[in-house]
Every structure is written in C-alpha cells, then in structure tokens.
C-alpha cells in the first residue's frame, strides 16, 4: 500500500497543506515543534480512526477553528482509495471515496500503518496493559472477528464485575454461571487469536532483533499461560478457571482470571526485558516487535502497511540506524527527524522540510 497524497486543513498547527509522498522512504525534517509528528499523526488517524496522543479529537482542531480536515489518497491492492475525516468540536464525519460512512468500523483498515516512536519503549518497560494494547491494535487491524470478540468480551466482563460488587451474594452466586458461560466463549476466541498471532510474531521479532544487533542478542516472546489449540477446549478450560476463581472474585470484587490479565513475556538473552534491558536494548526490542508486526501485516493483508518512524533515529546508535534504513527499503516509510544529514547517510528519499506547519519549498 502506498499513500500518495495527504491534505491537512486546520489540523493541529497546519492551516492548509498538501504532502506528496513517494514509494519508499519519505523524510520529514524540521526543528522541534514545527509539525513533523502532527503530520505523522494525521496518517495514523486515517489508518486507525484514532489519535495517537490524546483522548479527545477536538485537540486535533487548530486553535480558534471549528473543524479540522484530514484527507488522503492511497493506492492499495484493491485499487485507489480516498479517505477523509472532518473533525468538529463534538462529532466527526468520515468519508470513503467521497461517501459519508455511518460506522467508524468501515473506515478503519482501508489504509494501514505501523507506528513507532520513542514512546513505544513503554511496550517493553511498562506493565502488561501496554502489551495487551499492542496485541489488540495489531490483531484488530487485520481481523474484524477479533475486534468484535474483544468488544463483546469487554462488555460482559464489565457486567460480571458490576455483579461481583452486588450485596446480595446468593443472587450473585446464582447468576454468575450464566455470565461465565458467555464470557468463556469470547475469552477463548481472544486467547486463541493472541497465541496464534504471537507464534507468528515471535520468530519474526527474533529475526529482526538479531539483524539489528548483528546477532549479538537473542529476543524471545511468549504468552503467559498454557492453553490447548482448540477454541472449544480453551473455552472449557477458561470456564473451569472462572468457576474455580468465583469465591475469590466475590471477595475481590472483580474478575481475576481471563485474557484481560494476559501478558507477553519478552526476554533478551533469557533475561526479562522489563527488568533488565538497557534503554538501547529495550528500544531495539520494541523496534523489532514493530518490524515483525509489519511483516505479519504483509503476510495477512497481502501488502505492506506504511511504516511511520517518528523521531526514532536519534535514539539508535549508528550501525542500528543504517541497518534500520536498509531493512525498510522495500516499503513506504514516513520518517521524522530534526537533522536528515545525520541519519540518512545519502539514502535515497523524498525529503520534506517543515517550518511552522508549512512545507518549506
Ligand atoms: N490544535 C492545535 N492547534 C495549533 N497548534 C497545535 C495544536 N496541537 C498542537 N499544536 C502545535 O503543533 C506544534 C508542532 O508539534 P509536533 O509535535 O508536530 O512537533 P514536531 O515537529 O514533531 O517537534 P519535535 O521535533 O519536538 O518532536 C507544537 O508546537 C504544538 O503546540
Ligand atoms: Mg515530534
């Protein structure tokens, strides 16, 4: 997939600007606070229907304006697509090829991206939440079934948790089995999908990490918990776990077992990356995960996503920078940095210079 054109109107610090991207490497340069990440964020928004950094879309609207517009033209293996998002104070309108869409779900996935920024270090260093978020986002982009299962699971889980806080304990004991039955069905789908995804991701991430470190480090990923490889058997197993945990859950007031507690175990040379990795190691591991995600995407969707690398180069040492550039040669990449000369080493690219929300010609 290739994004050809991106148009921003009253988006963040952009008043009106059009970017023309090429296949391969596109480099956005500029000093701090000029609009590089904002441009990358706009691409991400069109791919995922969600913003990178914030909860409220209204922050995307240029100060003092009523509406922000982001539009893009891309060529995918299904042909040309035009996406547009109009973001207002309290609502948004999404368009696909000029037609207004009733549901956001029809917007997401028409363009795909993998995003990497220094913040992705959280993936390695923070608690399980970040890693579940990574799994959910990655798997959802290529599987609507997973997306649906996740939403239903969350809804039933919320209801079960509310029930656990009820005072009438005998009523709760009576009702719980019904919820558990339903919960286990969606839980099994999530558990199975995540494990399959990780089984595919793990060797690719190990490979990317070995490549970036010249074979010096061995990255390994695994999911906590042993499960059978059959959805119904997993559901039965989870149902057992839920009933075994019932009394404890009643005391705790929340559900203590299930995929909402899942975690990916990440090790470098056998040591837990979360506790032991250096900053550079953790950064490289996170990058390897993202490169692996890009590969899987290619396998599942039949074409590569756009890889967005925001401010990544300055954080890597010289050999790793060169290797990264070499690795992403064959896909469209949008890379931001402050000094192109220091990171590109003459690599062929479409260089776009940004100053105060405008392209410098
Ligand atoms: N809604 C908005 N309206 C106007 N300006 C905004 C809005 N949101 C963000 N900005 C401004 O956009 C500017 C550029 O932000 P951006 O994150 O894109 O910078 P950057 O070029 O990536 O810089 P850095 O190199 O520091 O990462 C910031 O100064 C910010 O204040
Ligand atoms: Mg930035």
Q: Can you tell me which residue has the tokens 């040591």? A: 271
59 lines ligand 1 (CB under 6 A): yes
User: Which atom of ligand 1 is found nearest the CA of 311?
Assistant: 27
* pLDDT exceeds 90 at position 138: no
| 10-24, 101-115, 296-310: which is most confident | 10-24
In a domain, 320, yes or no: yes
Q: Which residue is closest in CA terms to ligand 1's atom 12?
A: 13
For residue 7, the model assigns a pLDDT of: 98
Cβ contact 2:113 at 8 Å: no
For residue 264, the model assigns a pLDDT of: 96
Q: What average pLDDT is seen over the chain?
A: 93
Q: What angle do CA 259, 262, 267 make, to 5 degrees?
A: 155
In a domain, 165, yes or no: no
User: pLDDT tens digits for 313-327?
Assistant: 888 888 888 899 999
92 lines ligand 1 (CB under 6 A): no
**Domain coverage including residue 53:** 1-112+305-361
* pLDDT exceeds 80 at position 82: yes
How many structural domains compose the chain?
A: 1
When pLDDT is cut at 50, 70 and 90, the band that residue 52 belongs to is: low
In a domain, 161, yes or no: no
User: Residue 46's domain is classified under what CATH number?
Assistant: 3.40.50.300
Q: What is the percent of the chain with per-residue pLDDT over 90, rounded to a whole number?
A: 78
* pLDDT exceeds 90 at position 98: yes
- Report how far residue 303's alpha carbon sits from residue 78's, in angstroms, rounded to the nearest whole number: 10
User: pLDDT tens digits for 259-309?
Assistant: 999 999 999 999 999 989 999 899 999 999 999 999 999 998 899 999 999
Cβ contact 62:74 at 8 Å: no
In a domain, 345, yes or no: yes
User: pLDDT tens digits for 327-346?
Assistant: 998 999 999 999 887 677 77
Q: How far apart are the first and last CA of the chain?
A: 27
User: pLDDT tens digits for 26-42?
Assistant: 999 999 999 999 999 99
Query: How remote is the CA of residue 11 from the centroid of ligand 1, in Å?
Result: 10
DSSP-derived secondary structure for 131-157:
HHHHHHHHHHHH-HHHHHHHHHHHHHH
* pLDDT exceeds 90 at position 51: no
Cβ contact 265:273 at 8 Å: no
In a domain, 273, yes or no: no
User: pLDDT tens digits for 217-254?
Assistant: 999 999 988 899 999 999 999 999 999 999 999 999 99
In a domain, 97, yes or no: yes
In a domain, 175, yes or no: no
In a domain, 50, yes or no: yes
* pLDDT exceeds 80 at position 54: no
User: Which atom of ligand 1 is found nearest the CA of 61?
Assistant: 1
When pLDDT is cut at 50, 70 and 90, the band that residue 203 belongs to is: very high
């Amino acid at each position: 997939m290739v994004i050809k054109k991106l148009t921003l109107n009253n988006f963040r610090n952009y008043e009106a600007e059009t970017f023309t991207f090429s296949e391969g490497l596109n480099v956005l340069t500029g000093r701090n606070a000029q609009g590089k990440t904002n441009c990358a964020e706009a691409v991400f928004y069109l791919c995922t229907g969600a913003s990178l950094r914030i909860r409220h879309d209204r922050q995307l609207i240029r100060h003092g304006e009523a509406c922000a517009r982001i539009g893009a033209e891309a060529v995918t293996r299904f042909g040309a697509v035009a996406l547009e998002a109009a973001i207002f104070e309290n609502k948004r309108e999404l368009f696909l090829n000029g037609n207004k869409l009733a549901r956001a779900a029809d917007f997401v996935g028409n363009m795909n991206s993998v995003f990497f920024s220094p913040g992705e270090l959280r993936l390695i260093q923070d608690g399980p939440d970040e890693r579940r978020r990574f799994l959910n986002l990655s798997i959802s982009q290529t599987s609507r079934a997973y997306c649906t299962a996740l939403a239903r699971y969350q809804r039933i889980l919320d209801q079960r948790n509310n029930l656990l806080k009820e005072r009438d304990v005998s009523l709760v004991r009576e009702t719980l089995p019904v919820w558990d039955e339903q919960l286990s069905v969606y839980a099994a789908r999530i558990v199975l999908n995540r494990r399959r995804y990780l089984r595919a991701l793990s060797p690719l991430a190990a490979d990317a990490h070995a490549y970036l470190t010249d074979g010096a480090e061995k990255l390994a990923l695994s999911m906590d918990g042993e499960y059978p490889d059959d959805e119904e058997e997993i559901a039965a197993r989870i149902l057992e776990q839920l009933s075994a945990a019932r009394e404890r859950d009643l005391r705790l007031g929340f559900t203590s077992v299930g995929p909402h507690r899942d975690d990916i175990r990440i090790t470098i040379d056998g040591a837990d990356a979360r506790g032991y990795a250096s900053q550079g190691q953790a950064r490289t591991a996170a990058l390897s995960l993202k490169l692996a995600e890009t590969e899987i995407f290619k396998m599942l969707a039949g074409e590569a996503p756009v890889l967005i690398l925001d401010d990544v180069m300055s954080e890597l040492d010289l050999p790793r920078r060169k290797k990264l550039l070499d690795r992403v040669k064959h896909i469209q990449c949008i890379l931001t940095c402050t000094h192109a000369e220091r990171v590109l080493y003459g690599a062929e690219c479409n260089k776009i210079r940004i100053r105060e929300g405008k392209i410098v010609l």
